[in-house]
Amino acid sequence: MSSAYAALPAAHPGPTVNDYTAAQSERAEAAAQRAGFENLEITMVQDGNFWFDGRKQGQTYSVTVTKDGQVYSSSL
C-alpha cells in the first residue's frame, strides 16, 4: 500500500492544518514585534494562527497572533 505523500520527508506529514509558509510566519512575527515582543520562538501553528514564546520589557509571555494579525499575550 502506497501513501500519496510517500515522497515527502518523514518530518513533513503532508498538507495539514498545521502547515504554514515562510510568508505567513514572517507576517505573524512582524505583528508580534509591532506589539513590542522580541526573541520570538514559534511553539505552535494551527489554521494560520501562530503561538510564540516571546519577551517584552524583561518578562516572558505566551503570544498568540491570529491569522488576521491580532496579537494577544499572557505572562508565563
pLDDT band, residue 33 (cuts 50/70/90): very high
- Name the 3-class secondary structure at 52: strand
Q: Which of 44, 75, 46, 42 minimizes the C-alpha distance to 61?
A: 75
Average pLDDT score, the chain: 84
Q: Look at residue 1 and tell me whether its pLDDT is greater than 80.
A: no
Q: Look at residue 12 and tell me whether its pLDDT is greater than 80.
A: no
Q: Look at residue 49 and tell me whether its pLDDT is greater than 80.
A: yes
State which amino acid sits at residue 29: E
Neighbours of 73 (CB within 10 A): 18
| All three cell numbers of 26 | 514572517
The strand order across the sheet containing 59-65 reads 38-46, 49-56, 59-65, 71-75
Q: Look at residue 39 and tell me whether its pLDDT is greater than 60.
A: yes
